């Protein structure tokens, strides 16, 4: 690959190679976003199929062989549908809202290390970047609720604003423990620190934090059983009520891109990122050394993505005040206690993680 980058630098020599750098970043971003959109499309197909089988149904099976073209058909339908603007809505903010939802959802992927040296940007503070950009995503929902000038979207937006702000604190504290063990806020370093087999991954010393992180990720992405933002049995469709066609599809894309990102982040932080699970086991390590790291990363995150669907098919929706209590009275004390536990473990060098 370095040969190709060198060629681009030679073709575009303006501004000391800055133009070439921008072109390279654009190429990398395209190589990231296009597969991501494909994964999102087929994740929706997987969701319908998995939940269908769990409920003893078949799921989509009409379009293409076994329904494989269903997401394409859905995308075409959404693209050709008419976009309706509520007459009293604030048009600019109404159209800005989906943009503000999708931009952070894609921008966070810039720092994800897919393999050794395989990333768009090796940011020194990538974990903080993930938190910061993730917290910007809430504006899409808040603006959608406010600009629609309608009752149910506003209720949904209020719910989501308070939920996201309180669960960001929980996620932040849970990530502090990871940073304490790894000694870095760079995602690449965090993955490198987990080298050396399944027992060296952080899911053992941080087991409660992993569970808290995953449940908080469910809240952050507005997934069942915490999807009170949409809550179709209470407030019709929440913030999406007034959105139709492509404007709705953009929200949909953002939500699923966020879900996949949270699954990948859980793998990077607690399950060794792109490290093979067979590291340190004599024959298996050699036997599987040909598998590229990105395959391991995707395989592990597929499990978490499946967990999203499994949880959605299993649990009934939480009541709003119960979700709030879970955050402030259950998760927050647990994370603070675990920070002290991790501090003691680091001080006395317990286990192979330090």
Partner 1 sequence: MNFEQIIFYILSFWFIASSLAMIFSRNAAKAVLFLILAFFSAASIWLLLEAEFLAITLILVYVGAVMVLFLFVIKMLNIDKSTLRAKFAGYLPLGLLVAAVIVTEMAMVLGYNQFGLDVMAAPARHGADYSNITVLALQLYTDYIYSFELAAVLLLIAIIAAITLVHRKEVKRKGQSIAQQVKVQAKDRVRLVSITPKNKENKS
For 27, 153, 155, 156, 237, the CA distances from 232, given in Å and listed in that order, are 40, 11, 12, 10, 5
Q: Which of residues 283-342 bind partner 1 (CB under 8 A)?
A: 321-322, 325, 329
Nearer to partner 1, 172 or 245 (CB): 172
165 binds partner 1 (CB under 8 A): yes
First to last CA, the chain: 35
Instruction: Say how far apart CA 178 and CA 172 lie, in whole Å.
Output: 10
Instruction: Say how far apart CA 326 and CA 321 lie, in whole Å.
Output: 9
101 binds partner 1 (CB under 8 A): no
Query: By 3-state DSSP, what share of the chain in percent is helix, strand and coil, each rounded to 5?
Result: 70, 0, 30
- Evaluate the CA torsion angle 278, 284, 285, 289 in order and state its sign: negative
Tell me the DSSP string of 199-220.
GGSTTTTTHHHHHHHHHHHHHH
146 binds partner 1 (CB under 8 A): yes
CB 185 within 8 A of CB 125: yes
346 binds partner 1 (CB under 8 A): no
136 binds partner 1 (CB under 8 A): yes
69 binds partner 1 (CB under 8 A): no
Which of 13, 64, 83, 124 binds partner 1 (CB under 8 A)? It is 124
CB 354 within 8 A of CB 345: yes
Tell me the DSSP string of 302-342.
HHHHHHHHHHHHHPPPPPHHHHHHIIIIIIHHHHHHHHHHH
Span interacting with partner 1, options 55-63, 111-119, 128-136, 252-260, rule CB under 8 A: 128-136
Minimum separation from the CB atom of position 13 to partner 1 (A): 13
For 2, 6, 217, the CA distances from 163, given in Å and listed in that order, are 44, 47, 11
Nearer to partner 1, 145 or 205 (CB): 145
212 binds partner 1 (CB under 8 A): no
Span interacting with partner 1, options 46-54, 164-172, 254-262, 305-313, rule CB under 8 A: 164-172
Minimum separation from the CB atom of position 41 to partner 1 (A): 29
135 binds partner 1 (CB under 8 A): yes
Which of 43, 45, 119, 129 binds partner 1 (CB under 8 A)? It is 129
57 binds partner 1 (CB under 8 A): no
Which of 157, 187, 266, 305 binds partner 1 (CB under 8 A)? It is 157
Nearer to partner 1, 166 or 335 (CB): 166
Count Cα atoms within 13 angstroms, Cβ side, for 130: 28
139 binds partner 1 (CB under 8 A): yes
Nearer to partner 1, 42 or 318 (CB): 318
Residues 6 or more apart from 352 whose CB is under 8 A from it?
196, 199, 200
164 binds partner 1 (CB under 8 A): yes
Instruction: Note the Cα 353 to chain centre separation in Å.
Output: 26
Instruction: Say how far apart CA 136 and CA 105 lie, in whole Å.
Output: 9
Binding mask 4-43 for partner 1 (x = CB under 8 A): -----------xx-x-------------------------
93 binds partner 1 (CB under 8 A): yes
Per CB under 8 A, residues contacting partner 1 are 15-16, 18, 93, 123-125, 128-129, 131-133, 135-136, 138-139, 142-143, 146, 154, 157-158, 161-162, 164-165, 168, 185, 321-322, 325, 329
């Amino acid at each position: 690959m370095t040969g190709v980058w060198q060629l681009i630098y030679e073709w575009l020599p303006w501004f000391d190679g800055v133009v070439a750098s921008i072109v390279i970043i654009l190429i990398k971003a395209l190589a990231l976003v296009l597969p991501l959109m494909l994964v999102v499309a087929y994740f929706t197909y997987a969701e319908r199929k998995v939940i269908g089988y769990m409920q003893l149904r078949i799921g989509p099976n009409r379009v293409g062989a076994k329904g494989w073209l269903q997401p394409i058909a859905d995308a075409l339908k959404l693209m050709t549908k008419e976009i309706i603007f509520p007459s009293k809505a604030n048009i600019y903010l109404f159209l800005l809202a989906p943009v503000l939802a999708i931009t952070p959802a894609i921008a966070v992927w810039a720092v994800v290390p897919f393999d050794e040296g395989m990333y768009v940007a090796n940011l020194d503070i990538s974990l903080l970047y993930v938190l910061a950009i993730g917290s910007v995503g809430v504006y899409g929902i808040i603006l959608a609720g406010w600009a629609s000038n309608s009752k149910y979207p506003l209720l949904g937006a209020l719910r989501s604003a308070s939920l996201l702000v309180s669960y960001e604190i929980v996620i932040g504290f849970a990530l502090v423990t990871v940073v304490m063990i790894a000694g870095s806020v760079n995602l690449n370093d965090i993955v490198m620190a987990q080298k050396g087999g399944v027992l060296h991954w952080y899911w053992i010393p941080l087991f409660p934090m992993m569970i808290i992180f995953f449940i908080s990720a469910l809240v952050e992405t507005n997934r069942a059983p915490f999807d009170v933002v949409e809550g179709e049995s209470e407030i019709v469709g929440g913030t999406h009520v007034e959105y139709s066609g492509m404007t709705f599809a953009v929200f949909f894309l953002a939500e699923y891109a966020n879900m996949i990102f949270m699954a990948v982040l859980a793998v990077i932080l607690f399950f060794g990122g792109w490290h093979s699970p067979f590291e340190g086991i004599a024959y298996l390590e050699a036997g599987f050394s040909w598998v590229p790291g990105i395959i391991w990363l995707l395989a592990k995150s597929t499990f978490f993505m499946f967990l999203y669907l499994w949880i959605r098919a299993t649990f009934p929706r939480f009541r709003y005040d119960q979700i709030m209590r879970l955050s402030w009275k259950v998760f927050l004390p647990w994370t603070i206690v675990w920070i002290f536990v991790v501090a003691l473990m680091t001080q006395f060098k317990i286990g192979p993680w330090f």
